[in-house]
């Protein structure tokens, strides 16, 4: 198990929250999308449900975590469930990761992984890159490939090394929400779909609170449910200190 350097909740939100200001230019649209996702700090309680087979809703594993986020790259996670790893904590700090094992009382620095690897268990079908830092604008060059009365479809081509060959983002014109992001790779073609199923207003913002990453190749899916969240509130620095985060 290896964990993303990015707080899960913050990363997903940055992928999925949008400006309410309309514009017909791809760059300005995506800038507004990025702008809405920006938070300085966050605290969220969330569940990650991994389904080995997307059509079998009875077979899944659930993990519940308390996640603290700071900026785009720093995160702290504490496992609430499953019982066997209750209290296990993970600190991701600018690319480095530490794990505190309550079972042994030891803290261990763990290996960082390549971008396309799945954050199995914790991330399920979300790869490190899906949760990685950087804004949409920084990571992709966008153009509008389709436009109708209700939405734009933006095609994003990676600006730097990426496991994806392109992404297709559907942006709704009335509120700039993105109900769907399609991920493509050179090897597998259309590989994954990120579908937002529920939004709630949290701290005055419309935030995605339930989203599903569907892996079309593995036929698996991962559902993230945000139970509680707070944004831009003060967080004790100890959570982002490798020497103190476990205390």
Partner 1 sequence: MKSEEKMMTAIAAFVVRFYKWIPFVALLLFILSIISASNIETKTEIKDLMSEKDPLIASYIEVDSVFAGGATVMITIEGNDKARMGQCAEDFVASVRANDRLMREIKAINLKVDRQFMDDWGLMLAKAKDLEKTQETFSELNLLPFITSLNNSFEETYTGDEAEEELETNKQEKDAVATLAQLESFFTLMREYLENPEAVPFEEQGRTLAETFMYGEPYQFNHDNTMLLLTITPTFNTVEIEKIVAFMKEVKTIITKTNNRYPDLKISYTGDVPIQSDEQDALGFDMAVPSIVALMLILVLFIFSFNQLRSIIFILAVLILGIVFNYGFIGITIKEINMLTSIMAVLLIGLGVDYGIQIVTNFTTYREDGCEPQEALRLTYLKAGMGTLLAALTTAIAFFVMSATGVKAFEQFGIVMGTGIINCFLAMFFILPSILLWWGKKDLGKTHLPNINYQFLANLGKTTYKHRTTTIIVGSIITIGLFAAMFLNRMEYDMMKLEPENMPSITQYKKVMEKFEMTPFASTVIANSIEEAREFTEQLEKTPLVADINSVSYFFPPADEQQARLAAIAKIRNMPPRYRTMNYTTEDMETFTYEVQRTEWNIIEMGDLSVAGLGENNKIVKKRNAMIHEVFGAEVGKPGREVFQKLIMLIQSNPAKYAERLSKLDHYFAREMDAIVTRMSRANRPMTINDLPESVRKSMFDATGKRNLVMIYPDEGVLDNIDNIRHFNNSVARVSPRITGATQIMTAWLAEVISASGKAGIFVFAAVIFFLILNFRDIKYVVFASVPLVLGMIWMAGIYPLLGQKMNFVNIAVVPLVIGMGIDFGIHIAHRFKVEQNIETVYRYTGKGVFLSAFTTMIGFGSLGLIGRFGSVNSMGRILFIGILMCLLTTLIILPSLLTFDKKNKPL
Q: Which 121-150 positions form the footprint of partner 1 (CB under 8 A)? A: 121-122
Using rule CB under 8 A, residue 244 touches partner 1: no
Nearer to partner 1, 30 or 63 (CB): 63
**Which residues are within 8 A (CB) of 170 and not within 5 positions of it... i.e. 6 or more apart?**
151, 152, 153, 178, 179, 180, 181
Single out the residue of 116, 124, 96, 119 nearest to residue 108, CA to CA: 96
Using rule CB under 8 A, residue 242 touches partner 1: no
Contact characters 149-188, partner 1, x per CB under 8 A: ----------------------------------------
> Judged by CB under 8 A, which of 24, 87, 115, 159 binds partner 1?
87
Instruction: Tell the residue number behind the tokens 């390549």, with chain if given.
Output: 114
Alpha-carbon distance of 31 to 36, in angstroms, equals 9
Using rule CB under 8 A, residue 58 touches partner 1: yes
Handedness of CA 17, 22, 24, 28 (dihedral sign): negative
Q: Per the structure block, which two tokens stand in for 62?
A: 């659930």
Using rule CB under 8 A, residue 218 touches partner 1: yes
**Which residues are within 8 A (CB) of 188 and not within 5 positions of it... i.e. 6 or more apart?**
217
Q: Which stretch binds partner 1 (CB under 8 A): 14-22, 38-46, 75-83, 155-163?
A: 75-83
Using rule CB under 8 A, residue 46 touches partner 1: no
> Judged by CB under 8 A, which of 40, 45, 102, 188 binds partner 1?
102
Using rule CB under 8 A, residue 86 touches partner 1: yes
């Amino acid at each position: 198990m290896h964990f993303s350097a990015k707080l899960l909740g913050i990363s997903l939100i940055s992928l999925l929250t949008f400006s309410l200001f309309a514009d017909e230019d791809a760059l300005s649209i995506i800038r507004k999308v990025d702008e809405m996702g920006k938070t300085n700090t966050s605290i969220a309680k969330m569940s990650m449900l991994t389904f080995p087979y997307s059509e079998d809703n009875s077979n899944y594993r659930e993990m519940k975590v308390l996640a603290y986020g700071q900026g785009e790259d720093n995160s702290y996670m504490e496992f609430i469930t499953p019982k066997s790893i209750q209290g296990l904590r993970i600190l991701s700090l600018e690319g480095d990761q530490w794990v505190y094992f309550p079972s042994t009382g030891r803290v261990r620095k763990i290996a960082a992984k390549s971008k396309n690897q799945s954050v199995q268990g914790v991330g399920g079908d979300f790869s490190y890159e899906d949760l990685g830092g950087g804004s949409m604008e920084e990571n992709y060059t966008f153009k509008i490939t389709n436009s109708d009365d209700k939405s734009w479809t933006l095609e994003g081509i990676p600006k730097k090394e990426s496991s994806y060959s392109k992404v297709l983002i559907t942006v709704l014109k009335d509120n700039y929400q993105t109900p769907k992001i399609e991920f493509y790779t050179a090897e597998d073609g259309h590989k994954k779909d990120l579908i937002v199923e529920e939004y709630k207003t949290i701290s005055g913002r419309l935030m995605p609170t339930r989203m599903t990453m569907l892996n079309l190749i593995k036929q698996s899916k991962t559902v993230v449910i945000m139970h509680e969240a707070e944004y831009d509130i003060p967080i004790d620095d100890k959570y982002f200190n490798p020497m103190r985060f476990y205390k």
